[in-house]
């Protein structure tokens, strides 16, 4: 899952981004309305976490534009993170199109729970993903195959999660970079191949992820 974190408090943004990355999310951090606008014109996000009080604009206006401005790539979900705690502010945020509203200060565990809930919205699979004999528990951040625990790094877990959200689909290296890595990833390195090779090795036999020559990679459930 790739997240846009729009937060003008640099210290808070750093702490939240570090926590999210440790939970295997790809995070792009920006501190201004203009910076978020620029990213949203070129990058597709699964979730946008938007602060309202910004130095160059109001995040509420950006939330509205996510549903109306065709020049912006609309994230699948949006979450307002703000110190504005009045009932009227919450109502305004949700009416503007936000999927959730979380008031600062907040516990990181609650932010994670809300992100998991947003990811499940419209998805009847809940916290458990099952493809063939592989199971991912998104709540406990664990993976197993045929009942045997897989010891995955955060990036390997994120990559497997993305494959399991798209079983049978052919995913290009660009798709994987777009959704599993953030803006710090170098598209000209072999980073996808390296992490994918490690993931395949940990998944064991029979193989689950196949290379489709000239197209990308495909997760095929074992029979």
CA distances from 200 to 128, 154, 178, 206 (A): 21, 15, 20, 10
Check whether 5 has a pLDDT greater than 90. Answer: yes
Residue 213: CB partners within 8 Å, gap ≥ 6?
none
Q: CA–CA separation, 46 vs 33, rounded Å? A: 19
Bridge partners of residue 210, in order along the sequence: 218
pLDDT per position as a tens digit, 58-88: 999 999 999 899 899 899 899 999 999 999 9
CA distances from 152 to 79, 94, 116, 123, 181 (A): 28, 37, 19, 24, 16
Comparing CA positions, the residue from 65, 63, 66, 68 lying closest to residue 81 is 63
Comparing CA positions, the residue from 116, 71, 79, 115 lying closest to residue 97 is 79
Q: CA–CA separation, 159 vs 175, rounded Å? A: 11
pLDDT per position as a tens digit, 13-71: 999 999 998 887 889 999 999 999 999 999 889 899 999 999 999 999 999 999 899 89
Backbone angles phi, psi at 100, to 5 degrees: -155, 165
Check whether 110 has a pLDDT greater than 90. Answer: yes
192 pLDDT band, cuts 50/70/90, is: confident
Comparing CA positions, the residue from 20, 50, 38, 54 lying closest to residue 182 is 20
State how far Cα 27 lies from the chain centre: 7
Answer yes or no: are the C-beta atoms of 78 and 50 closer than 8 Å.
Answer: yes
pLDDT per position as a tens digit, 139-191: 778 899 999 999 998 889 989 989 998 899 999 988 888 888 776 655 555 67
pTM for this entry? 0.69
Q: Which domains does the chain have, with CATH numbers?
A: 2-120 (3.40.50.2300), 128-219 (1.10.10.10)
Answer yes or no: are the C-beta atoms of 31 and 63 closer than 8 Å.
Answer: no
């Amino acid at each position: 899952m790739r997240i846009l974190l729009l937060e003008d408090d640099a210290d808070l943004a750093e702490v939240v981004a570090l926590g999210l990355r440790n939970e295997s999310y790809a995070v792009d951090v920006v501190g201004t309305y203009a910076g978020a606008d620029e990213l949203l014109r070129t990058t597709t996000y699964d979730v946008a976490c938007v602060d309202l009080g910004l130095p160059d604009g109001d995040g509420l206006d950006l939330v509205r534009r996510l549903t109306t401005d065709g020049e912006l790539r609309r994230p699948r979900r949006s979450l307002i993170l703000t110190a504005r705690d009045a009932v009227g502010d919450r109502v305004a945020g949700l009416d503007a199109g936000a999927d959730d509203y979380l008031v600062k200060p907040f516990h990181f565990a609650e932010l994670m729970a809300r992100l998991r809930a947003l990811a499940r919205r419209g998805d009847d699979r809940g916290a458990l993903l099952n493809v063939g004999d592989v199971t991912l528990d998104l709540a406990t951040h664990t993976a197993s195959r045929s009942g045997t625990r897989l010891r995955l790094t955060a990036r390997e877990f994120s990559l497997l999660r993305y494959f399991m959200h798209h079983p049978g689909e052919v995913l290009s290296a660009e798709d994987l970079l777009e959704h599993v890595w953030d803006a710090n990833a170098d598209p000209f390195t072999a980073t996808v191949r390296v992490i994918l090779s490690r993931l395949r090795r940990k998944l064991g036999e029979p193989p689950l992820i196949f290379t489709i020559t000239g197209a990308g990679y495909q997760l095929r459930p074992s029979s």
